[in-house]
A and B are shown apart, each in its own frame.
Chain A
């Protein structure tokens, strides 16, 4: 219940921000003791309904916090998922209880592991574009960020100023 209220509030915030056209080109975001480094995503093929969101979260505080998800006008749902490949089988599951970030710890959401699952894309994500999202933390609250869309299939972000991915 509390989670859905938070997410609804987050969605409302995102929509409000999108409406007034706030733009932020920095790739780092801060919310109290939580630092978010370079939220990025990958271009999606036409017809794909899902995508991945990646970022690093560092807890600079003295208390543990919990990353519980978020919302974005670009997608129907934004969930935390974990991909694993064990004994040759690829699996993906939602991380329902969120991710605990201990004081001083950094959580890396990256391709092939724990990531944000963008469910229900309203259209293909294109390289070079950005989309807004609000990320929600149990303790720190919610923070507005922008995801930079990188090339399709790349394992790590390739900054466009350094040339395109192969």
Chain B
């Protein structure tokens, strides 16, 4: 191994660590003040794990379906006019740019509103986006368990006339092939930077 190569790996490692810490803090997944390095490592390790849900095709979908592959995941709901379609649109664009490379990276859209988001509703909604995106729903307790596994926040908010909206964690999680949290995608970042992040996740670029 050449000195230059080692330096490159060391630098990327440092950037990666800084990125993870920044992403966690900026997305509110980690507390801001006085988080010791030990606490940070422990919290990152706690993001992710086993889950059991139902896909938009009506089939069971669990962590076993993404085992050994890097994947992206975010929480939302279909009665969301603003943030969710924007994120799905941006992810679809990134997946199209990656082309076949993205076949190796499942992208999961997990509803936090399973009462309205049936598999049929998710299938209909996702028909407008990249066909590789998997919509996931389940019972209230299955979805609740999923949010806890990924340390995501959600809350049902009454908006009158019997209607409601959902508050939810907006981050796009990038998970490594080992099932561990790697980083979040920043929608404000240039598309080329986001593509670079996904390629590094896929292991096709340093």
Binding site for B on A (CB under 8 A): 42-52, 83, 85, 87-94, 111-112, 115, 117-119, 152-155, 166
Chain B 1-29 residues near chain A, CB threshold 8 A: 26-29
Kindly list chain B residues whose C-beta atoms are within 8 Å of the C-beta of A42.
85
CB distance from B69 to the nearest CB of A (A): 25
Kindly list chain B residues whose C-beta atoms are within 8 Å of the C-beta of A92.
80-82, 165, 167
Residue from B79, B125, B163, B167 within 8 A of A46 (CB atoms): B125
Kindly list chain B residues whose C-beta atoms are within 8 Å of the C-beta of A49.
78-79
For the A-B complex, the count of residue pairs with Cβ-Cβ distances under 8 Å equals 92
Chain B 105-150 residues near chain A, CB threshold 8 A: 121, 124-129
| In contact, A91 and B89 (Cβ under 8 angstroms) | no
Q: A52-B81, A85-B170, A89-B28 are in contact. Are A119 and B163 (CB under 8 A)?
A: yes
B169 part of interface (Cβ distance < 8 Å):
yes
Q: How many residues of B contact A (CB 8 A)?
A: 35
Kindly list chain B residues whose C-beta atoms are within 8 Å of the C-beta of A83.
82-83
Kindly list chain B residues whose C-beta atoms are within 8 Å of the C-beta of A111.
82, 86
Q: A45-B125, A155-B86, A166-B93 are in contact. Are A88 and B171 (CB under 8 A)?
A: yes
Residue from A85, A93, A94, A118 within 8 A of B81 (CB atoms): A118
| In contact, A90 and B128 (Cβ under 8 angstroms) | no
Kindly list chain B residues whose C-beta atoms are within 8 Å of the C-beta of A112.
82-83, 86
